[in-house]
Amino acid sequence: MHGEPITILLVEDDLAHAEIVRRNFEKSRIANRLIHVSDGQAALDYLYGREAFSDPLQAPRPGLVLLDLRLPKIDGLEVLRTIKADTVLSQIPVVILTTSAAESDVARAYDSHANSYLVKPVDFSQFVELMEVLGYYWLVWNQHPKSEV
């Protein structure tokens, strides 16, 4: 891997999908640290250092957010809009990773400044392959601005 490893915030309510992501990144040695939260409120608490995430050593700023759309408490599109409206958080790449291929969801995500929109394949092996490609693209080949935090 080129450069420094980054923290990835995975916002995913489906524990099986979260485990696929974790195992694939671990197997590929893609990510230094994967933080998983299962709802939109927890994602915002993490990003703003609130509640259980108030210690910046335990909850460092992520270099990438993998965000599901259909989330409990606060919907993924609202989380995306909040991130992209915040001058401090807006440079963090947000990749929508969801089961929805609906054109309206894709359009709303890009209108809200998503950096990428990926539909989770139903087939397990294709999902694993998608995670591998995603990991290499965003964490190895893509250039990130230096964080000011």
Residues of the chain short of pLDDT 70, as ranges, are: 1-4, 28-32, 135-136, 138-149
pLDDT at residue 131 in the model: 75
pTM of the model: 0.87
Beta bridge partners of 35: 9
Domain ranges of the chain: 7-141
- For the domain with range 7-141, which CATH number is right: 3.40.50.720, 3.40.50.2300, 3.30.1490.20, 3.40.50.300? 3.40.50.2300
Residue 132 CA to residue 21 CA, distance in Å, equals 9
